[in-house]
Chains A and B, each alone.
Chain A
Amino acid sequence: ETGVTQSPTHLIKTRGQQVTLRCSSQSGHNTVSWYQQALGQGPQFIFQYYREEENGRGNFPPRFSGLQFPNYSSELNVNALELDDSALYLCASSGGQGATYGYTFGSGTRLTVV
């Protein structure tokens, strides 16, 4: 069984640009969550998708948006990038909504905004 895969692994963007990060969930998982991890901190919840619908959102502005596709893969889009958006972005998947089996995380995308 394949795990959670994220792409790209690293990218550098300029302030004001837009970025799309991608995540393929673990086989059989229908729930995908996105987290932002700043250096030296724990991950912060951005939002979750369950069966293609947004199913909870953290304290992030609307310029953070997402999608989940019928195969349960997901995208995170960030518009009007700011320097503070520089972070490790983590995708996690789960069967159901995580209460029973917990979450499996990908290796992350390191975003640097200059």
Chain B
Amino acid sequence: KQEVTQIPAALSVPEGENLVLNCSFTDSAIYNLQWFRQDPGKGLTSLLLIQSSQREQTSGRLNASLDKSSGRSTLYIAASQPGDSATYLCAVMGMEYGNKLVFGAGTILRVKS
């Protein structure tokens, strides 16, 4: 059974700091890994999608890496801003259990101005 863990559970940083969010998964047989952002009480916004054959993806100040063999992904946020404050979720889509996404519990990020 696939399990996804996100560390830390919460993070508070001053504006301008670079930060790393971690995601680990137990079954490396995945199709892809997706990072999402969720504002309080809202839906999910897709940030980055990494296919199993890829090592990283970049979008603006965001960079996500994937090490499938070790079951790890990181989301790097450069020069953080108060508008980055949200919950960040990672989800994997595995080969063994069909087409569902298995999510971590998320990292709550607060960027202080």
Q: Interface code B9-41, partner A: CB below 8 Å = 1, 0 otherwise?
A: 000000000000000000000011010100001
Tell me, yes or no, whether B61 is within 8 Å of chain A by CB.
no
Count of A residues near B, CB < 8 Å?
A: 32
Closest to B34 in A: A102
CA distance A6 to B34 in the complex (A): 21
Closest to B45 in A: A105
Contacts of B46 in A (CB 8 A): 102-105
Tell me, yes or no, whether B77 is within 8 Å of chain A by CB.
no
B99 and A33 contact, CB distance less than 8 A: yes
Q: Interface code B37-54, partner A: CB below 8 Å = 1, 0 otherwise?
A: 000011111100101000
A98 and B93 contact, CB distance less than 8 A: yes
Q: Interface code B75-106, partner A: CB below 8 Å = 1, 0 otherwise?
A: 00000000000000101010000111111111
Contacts of B93 in A (CB 8 A): 98-99, 102
CA distance A97 to B43 in the complex (A): 20
A108 and B100 contact, CB distance less than 8 A: no
B68 CB, nearest partner CB in chain A, Å: 15
A58-B105 contact, Cβ under 8 Å, with A99-B31, A102-B49, A105-B44:
no
B41 and A106 contact, CB distance less than 8 A: no
Q: Which residue of A44, A55, A90, A101 contacts B43 across the interface (Cβ within 8 Å)?
A: A90
**Subset of 9 A-B contacts with CB under 8 Å:** A42-B91, A42-B104, A44-B103, A48-B98, A48-B99, A88-B41, A92-B44, A105-B44, A108-B43
Show the binding face of B for A, using Cβ within 8 Å. Answer: 4, 31-32, 34, 36, 41-46, 49, 51, 89, 91, 93, 98-106
The 8 closest A-B pairs by CB, nearest first: A42-B103, A45-B100, A107-B43, A105-B44, A102-B49, A56-B98, A99-B31, A97-B99
With A33-B100, A99-B31, A107-B42 given, name 16 new contacts (CB 8 A). A31-B99, A40-B105, A42-B4, A42-B89, A42-B104, A43-B89, A45-B100, A45-B101, A58-B100, A88-B41, A90-B44, A92-B44, A98-B31, A102-B49, A102-B93, A105-B46
